[in-house]
Structure 1
Amino acid sequence: MIDSLLLEFMLIGLLGVGSQLVSWRFRFPAIVLMSVAGLLAGPIFGLINPEEDFGELYKPIISLAVAVILFEGSLNLDFKEVKGLGRPVFRIVTFGAFISWILGSLTAHYIAGLSWAVAFTIGGLFIVTGPTVILPLLRQAKLKPRPAKILKWEGIIVDPIGALLAVFAFEIIVFLTGNNESATSLLLFFAASLFAVFLGWICGRCVGWMFETGYVPEFLKSPTVLSIVIACFTIADEIMHETGLLSVTAMGMTLANMHISSIADMRHFKENISLLLISTIFVMLTASLTVDTLLQIFNVQIIGYVALMLFVVRPISIFLSTIRTDLSNSEKLLVGWIAPRGIVALTVAGYFASVLLGEGYEDASILISLTFALVFTTVVAHGFSIGWLAKKLGLSLEGPPGVLIIGGSAFTTGLAKTLEELKVPVLLTDSSWKKLSRARSRGIKSYHGEILSEQTEYYLNMTPYDYMIAATELDSYNALVCTTFVPEFGRNNTFQLSLSNRKEDDLEELVHTVRGRILFKEGASWEELNARVENGYVFRKTTITNQYTFAHYLEGIDKHSLLLFVKRNTGNVEFFNPETNPKGENGDIIVSLMPPIKEFEKIQEKLRRHHKANNSNI
């Protein structure tokens, strides 16, 4: 057992973030690795026990972390995004949640052997999925927009509803089995829930007003929002337990639909904080479990309950609630299967286990084991199956990493066509219809619109594209585009053309943090590349073999040739740039922009052959 709290914090952080890195590298579900890391550090090897070591600080830390995560998720709930999906989403989070509550409660009573009181309380809680588990899965699996948006909206909206439903069920039980004072507490519960929504709305409106009127400087906006989120959650939760989640959700949705420009900047900060919190909280929760709790999971009743929740309760609730909606059977099947439970289920279950035991319900002693069994099973099952099932149902955008090119020109059109011929997903965008004319005439997929416009994210699905190239004639615009999309694509995958040689631009001092990585090489500017294409330079594809190695290729190319990218035999694309120097291996395809010398040689050779054939016929 580690005695130092500082060392324990360090270990929790390393395990959480390390799990994220490993999951990204090997494409494993991150939550599975975090859970396993927590189990190894906690009940299995006994290195840490956060709940025991942190004492009274443990629950507040978990609660505040869940509040921030839920707020960050609700910042993405813009009603414009759900356009066309309003009816399915509404029915899933209302009728679907109610059906799931009833069926889950019946299953808990008849299969898990819980009393009616405990069954209906825990049945309300288990309707949640939540952003802590859904959002990482959606990042991992490239789903088509419709099912991805439905799962995201359901997870974020139902998260506070599930916690409130559990509280509501408990208050009803106390009312039916208690005295007249219980009626008052039931009314207080409804009043507190309404107050929580109002508090979240007013906090969101106040923050938006302060930002729009300039009452908060830029450097204080993120700290201000974080402080108000904590205050909003705490005030509501102190009035009535679990209403704080409803309050921060209302606040986030209010801000998301005010369309304040600075909210987009803060969203990146909140995403980073949320990712760190998810990584550490999952490790803390699983590390706090006991060996007895883990052994209790293998109880036949618990196994039967978990199986029915996965294969019966969830699919039935989705299919019944989406009758007469425009969702296809494939979409219903995918949404009906994907329902991982997460942090909210674990934390709230622990709270109700202690409360119900205090009220004399002895069967509540298995709630922690039951909850962890459901959480871990759903996280593993859904985490490893979402990609495979989406592909089988035709709802996946999984494929080779794609390239998003900004700026229509002769060069970008040729580059896009070459990528397309190599089966690499590519999209060429420009705000000028005229500049996209070459792409349209050559059948290249294009998008006419301003990439920096807020409306673009609602009409342009960027999921298939892993690389972004800003290749307009304006260096400052390219830098702005790259800076805007670095959080989404990553700095290593965001490129812009080399700065032009026009001295009046004076952009050489532009720091690297506010631009993309230089593509190809220094000096390969927009003017230079397009001049080459206009002068007849061609995009040449060369396959590297054991006989014709990359070294042979470099020796044979013209000194004026420009190396563009390597298409690996795995399907990945690696662009040449001043920072990296990829080398071609057996089976790779090297693409370069070459002078038309070889093309002229081929034409001349054909002419010679044709002339020789004519002479022989005479």
Structure 2
Amino acid sequence: MFIESFGIDSFVLLGGLLLICGVIVAKFSNKLGLPSLVLFILVGMIIGSDGLGIVYFDNMNTAQLIGIMALIIILFEGGMQTKWATVRSVALPSLSLATFGVLLTSGIVGYIAYLLFDVTLLEGLLFGAIVGSTDAAAVFAVLKERNIKAKMGATLEAESGTNDPMAVFLTLAFIELILIDGSTIWGLIPSFFWQMGLGLAFGLILGKIASVSINRIKLDSSGLYPIFSLAFALLSYSVTQVAGGSGFLAVYVAALVIGNSELTYRYSIFQFNEGFAWMSQILMFIILGLLVFPAQVFTMNIILNGLLLSVVLIFVARPIAVYLSTIGMNYSNKEKLFLSWAGLRGAVPIVLATFPVVAGIEKGQLFFNVVFFIVLTSTLLQGSTISYVAKKLKLTGPKKDTPHHSIELISIGKANAEMVQFQTNQDSAFVGKKLHELDLPNEVTISAMVRDEELITPYGETEVLAGDFLYILVASKHKEKIFKMMETKKRPGTA
């Protein structure tokens, strides 16, 4: 490896340069029309042994460990950002896609792999299981800040956050069936319900414990709260795995519970986890790019068979899985078509593709190379056209606005007060009123407003307009009342 050849200082220099490169790539990925994860992978391939030869890396065990750690962080951040009120309405179809949909996709792709390669049916189904799930890292990254209809975005995010456990279970199950004599598929069914049940239970319990602990334990530094929350993500995964459950499911469920709870230092926690998730994505995809040897992947056999499997996955298996998994669930044909197209593959299939290699499956390296090619095809073709397809199908929603001005949002623990953020819209009861007309409690102050990218110092005669960002300093005892006021809608017929 690089560290052995060039020393620690050079290795640290390379790490810093790669992170800078990753940030720049993320900045310009939308302008280039490509998902950032593809560019991260390309960076890894360029500096790898078949590129510039700066780093030689072929350790599947290390890559697997880094991939799992990164996925925990990415799932945790994605789950915390997911609003339960939005997900609740699409919980049933998302779970159907995450279980029955993954099973259908894996079966169809696995059978085609069995026909294409010189492998047994079980080995073909193992390949199908590896690419059967959509990828949380890819979906979260591609949908972030894109104006996709809320229902579609929620369905895809909930599906991608909960279908990893199914793919992991199927992958490990088929490896066991291949390597261990006497194993039967029927004997694995109880194991599936046990793993999913434990994952759900541990996620709910640890998520609640984390929420209460963050609010009750007074730490000396505000910077410790984000680390404290992240520790529960790692704890959720590890404890659940040791108990024989699905660690990924536990992480996502715990994140949902924590993210939808009222937290002290909420914004510090969210900002830290968002930044750490980006760093994890950059590191994970560059490592996966390093792990790939282009000379092995881009051969005529891999390209032809990979393209054929990609076509089957994108245009046959995924649509069939979506249409059958959402029968009777109030999705239009356009919505089903979009869900079919937005089934991105990403880091999870590549990480899962290391499992057969580590386990010693004969065709493991072949599977890894083909899976990598399929992931590249999926992200390049589907990831770069999601916004276009949504627009053509008329499934775009309001443009997602984010404030361009940074006001430090903190929980002032000793003062028992918090600064909260709220963006108004046309239906908000606040809109059209002057600040002195708002029935705010005495210990509540609107400290600042951002309108059209300009910071406004508010006073009594300042009128609230749709789209304004309000920064409200509120005593903790009035926080619940303020949240209810912010959620209040205008009465019908009110100007």
Does the pair score TM above 0.5? yes
Q: Unpaired runs of 5+ in structure 1?
A: 405-425, 437-448, 453-473, 483-491, 503-513, 517-618
Task: Give the C-alpha shift of residue 253 in structure 1.
Answer: 2.6
Q: Could you say what secondary structure the match of 2:354 adopts?
A: helix
Per the normalisation by structure 2, the TM-score is: 0.76
Number of the residue aligned with 1:139: 144
Cα deviation 1:452-481 (Å, max 9, x = unaligned): 9xxxxxxxxxxxxxxxxxxxxx995152x6
Q: Of 218, 234, 241, which aligns to 1:230?
A: 234
| Identity %, equivalent residues | 20
Q: Retained in 2: the 8 A contact 1:200–1:251?
A: yes
Letter in 2 for 1:348: L
SS of residue paired to 1:110:
helix
Does residue 496 (structure 1) correspond to residue 455 (structure 2)? The answer is yes
Of 21, 29, 32, which residue of structure 2 is paired with 1:15? Answer: 21
- Counting only pairs closer than 5 Å after superposition, residues 404-553 of structure 1 correspond to structure 2 as 427-428=425-426, 430-432=428-430, 435=433, 477-479=446-448, 494-498=453-457
Residue 302 of structure 1 is matched in structure 2 by 306
Which of 327-336 and 209-218 deviates more?
209-218
Secondary structure of the residue that 2:84 maps to in structure 1?
A: coil
2:351 aligned partner, one-letter code:
T
> Where do 1:112-511 residues align within 5 Å?
112-139=117-144, 141-174=146-179, 177-178=181-182, 191=194, 194-216=197-219, 218-237=222-241, 243-260=246-263, 262-263=265-266, 265-296=268-299, 298-357=302-361, 362-397=362-397, 427-428=425-426, 430-432=428-430, 435=433, 477-479=446-448, 494-498=453-457
Q: Aligned in 2, Cα 1:383/1:110: closer, same or farther, shift over 3 Å? A: same
User: C-alpha offsets along residues 319-366 of structure 1, whole Å, 9 cap, x if unaligned?
Assistant: 121222211111111111111111111112112233152xxxx23331
Contact 1:8 1:48 in 2 (8 A): no
Looking at structure 2, the residues matched to 55 and 91 of structure 1 have their Cα atoms a distance apart, in angstroms, of 32
Change (3 A) 1:135 1:189: closer
**How far has the Cα of 1:40 moved from its partner?**
1.7
Which residue of 2 is the match for residue 589 of structure 1? none
CA contact (8 A) 2:137 2:347 kept: yes
CA distance in 1, matches of 2:23, 2:367: 29
The secondary structure found in structure 2 opposite 1:82 is: helix
C-alpha contact (below 8 Å) 1:92/1:318 kept by paired residues: yes
Asked whether the equivalents of residues 12 and 284 of structure 1 are also in contact (C-alpha less than 8 Å), the reply is no
Rounded to whole Å, the distance in 2 between the matches of 1:279 and 1:398 is: 29
Q: 1:326 and 1:274 mapped to 2: Cα distance? A: 34
> Which residue identity is paired with 2:157?
K
The structure whose Rg is larger is 1
Over 3 Å counting, the alpha-carbon distance change for 1:356 and 1:178 in structure 2 is farther
**What runs of 5+ residues in structure 2 fail to find an aligned partner?**
404-423, 462-469, 473-495
State the alpha-carbon separation in 1 of the partners of residues 188 and 389 from structure 2.
Answer: 46
Match of 1:6 among 12, 18, 32: 12
Higher relative contact order (CA 8 A, sep 6+): 2
Secondary structure in structure 1 of the residue aligned to 2:384 = helix
C-alpha contact (below 8 Å) 1:23/1:30 kept by paired residues: yes
Q: Deviations over 1:522-557 (max 9, x none)?
A: xxxxxxxxxxxxxxxxxxxxxxxxxxxxxxxxxxxx
> Partners of 1:395 and 1:189 in 2: how far apart?
35
Report if aligned partners of 2:95, 2:162 keep a CA contact under 8 Å in 1. Answer: no
How far apart, CA to CA, are the structure 1 residues paired with 2:402 and 2:223? 34
The residue type equivalent to 2:16 in the other structure is M
Number of aligned pairs? 431
TM superposition shift of 1:25 = 4.7
Letter in 2 for 1:97: V
Residues 143, 395 of structure 1: 8 Å contact kept: yes
The separation in 2 between residues aligned to 1:219 and 1:351, in whole angstroms, is 36
Report the residue type matching 1:477 in the other structure. I
d(CA) in 2 for partners of 1:254 and 1:36?
A: 36
Query: Cα 1:138–1:266, aligned 2, differ >3 Å: closer, same or farther?
Result: same
Partner of 2:43: 37
Instruction: Write the distance in 2 (CA, Å) between the matches of 1:190 and 1:397.
Output: 37
Contact 2:48 2:57 in 1 (8 A): no
Q: Which secondary structure does the structure 2 equivalent of 1:75 belong to? A: helix
Do the aligned partners of 1:130 and 1:342 also contact (CA within 8 Å) in 2?
yes
The whole-number CA distance in structure 2 between the counterparts of 1:403 and 1:65 is: 26
Asked if 2 retains the 8 angstrom alpha-carbon contact of 1:104 and 1:313, the reply is yes
Partner of 2:454: helix, strand, or coil? Answer: strand
Distance (Å, rounded) in 1 between the aligned partners of 2:317 and 2:13? 43
d(CA) in 1 for partners of 2:358 and 2:205? 33
Distance change (3 Å), C-alpha of 1:30 and 1:140: farther
1:198 CA drift (Å): 3.5
CA change 1:7–1:213 in 2 (3 A) is closer
Q: Distance in 2 between matches of 1:403 and 1:126?
A: 34
Cα distance change on mapping 1:262 and 1:31 into 2, 3 Å: same
In structure 2, relative to structure 1, the CA distance for the partners of 1:56 and 1:351 (3 Å cut) is closer
1:301–1:197: structure 2 CA closer, same or farther, 3 Å change rule?
A: same
Distance, in Å, in 2 between the alignment partners of 1:351 and 1:45 is 25
The 1:9/1:186 distance shift into structure 2, 3 A limit, reads: farther
Partner of 2:410: none
Q: Tell me, yes or no, if the aligned pair for 1:141 and 1:386 is still in contact at 8 Å.
A: no
Amino acid corresponding to residue 102 of structure 1 in structure 2:
G
**1:161-198 CA deviation, whole Å, 9 max, x = no partner?**
211221233334456x3379x99998777655544444
For the residues of structure 1 that align with 2:92 and 2:460, how far apart are their CA atoms? 54
Which whole-Å CA distance do the structure 1 matches of 2:96 and 2:56 have between them? Answer: 39
Displacement of 1:275: 1.4
Is 1:110 matched up with 2:115?
yes
How many angstroms does 1:234 deviate by?
Answer: 3.2
Task: Quote the offset at 1:393 in angstroms.
Answer: 0.7
Q: Distance in 2 between matches of 1:144 and 1:249?
A: 22
1:130–1:159: 8 Å Cα contact kept in structure 2? Answer: yes
SS at match of 1:248: helix
Q: CA deviation at 1:77?
A: 3.9
Give RMSD over aligned pairs. Answer: 3.7
